[in-house]
Amino acid sequence: MSTWGSDLLALIVWPGLLGGTLLGWFYLWFIRKLTARLQGRKGPYFFQPFYDFVKLLGKETIVPAGINPVLFYGLPILSVGSALFALALVPVPSNSMSTFPGDLIVFIYLLEVPDLCEMLAGFATRSPYGQVGASREAMLSIAYNVPFLAAVIALAVQAGSFSLSALATTPLGWGSLVAALAFFLALPAKLKLNPFSIPNAEQELCAGAHTEFNGLPLALLELSHTLELVALISLFATLIVSPLLGGLSAWVAFLALSILLVILVTVLNTATARIKLNQAFAFYWRWGAVAAVLVLIIAFIR
């Protein structure tokens, strides 16, 4: 198969649009089901995330007054496209995407675009709920990106390369374990889960930056979040927790570690209450910064 054919396969089939969406819907269902069980409820059926997406596609799209239709439709499309390309770069088992030097930097840039689109979407709708949600997301992103970027940089220093494939083949060490801790500290905030679900606090902000979105644009924003979830979980499983394996063992390790991480963030989400923005900011600039400094020291002294 040609390089273009391999890249197209990675974008459309695995780990791209088709595989990423199905795996993401499974993660979302698992999170909701486990949360319900921990709270003594039954929880949704297996196909509920798919039903929710199809229902949104069938809704009439109403563009709110005062918003540019180009932004209303364009921001969700850009968000999905960026999350999709970021996911396709992750070196999960059987990924046929071509690797290149510095693709880790491209991945980080692409993964930040959905968050930027969500901030712009919140301000563009001129809704007070959307603007407050976007403001909270912007402030929180300054804090949680400290341990996240430190973990990624430390892994790159340990591997001696900014190539995702090189990071995936680097043997585990103490630096990897500390980087995993720093990565995990940032993960709940990047996924907007408790105790850091501040930008989309339903009891305060309705749906936050998504409040005025409906129909197709809202479905695309939800799809973007699904792909971002898979990209982050997959990155953790392939680059931090397990070295690259071959054959069936690679799939078993990838799925097992991914599900374990989903369980951990779900338990944390269920067991904690939402904290205030200043508390989250203080947490990340205190403990997140400590983890970031520690992981960088370990990476550079090796």
pTM of the predicted protein model: 0.94
For 173-187, letters b (16+ CB in 10 Å) and e give eebbebbbebbbbbb
pLDDT of residue 2: 65
pLDDT of residue 110: 96
pLDDT of residue 217: 96
Q: What is the separation, in whole angstroms, between the first and last Cα of the chain?
A: 40
Look at the block and give the residue holding tokens 């698992």: 30
pLDDT of residue 149: 93
The SS3 assignment for 196 reads coil
pLDDT of residue 44: 94
Residues of the chain with pLDDT under 70: 1-2, 203, 205, 241-248, 302
Tokens of 174: 């103490």
What is the domain partition of the chain in residue ranges?
3-301
For the chain, give me the number of helices (H) and strands (E)? 13, 0
Our CA dihedral for 123, 129, 133, 136, rounded to 10 degrees, sits at 100
Contact (Cβ atoms closer than 8 angstroms) between residue 123 and residue 267:
no
Contact (Cβ atoms closer than 8 angstroms) between residue 183 and residue 240:
yes
pLDDT of residue 190: 93
Alpha-carbon span 13 to 20, nearest angstrom? 8
Alpha-carbon span 238 to 253, nearest angstrom? 9
Tokens of 227: 């792909």
Contact (Cβ atoms closer than 8 angstroms) between residue 121 and residue 73:
no
pLDDT of residue 126: 82
DSSP 8-state symbol, 126: T
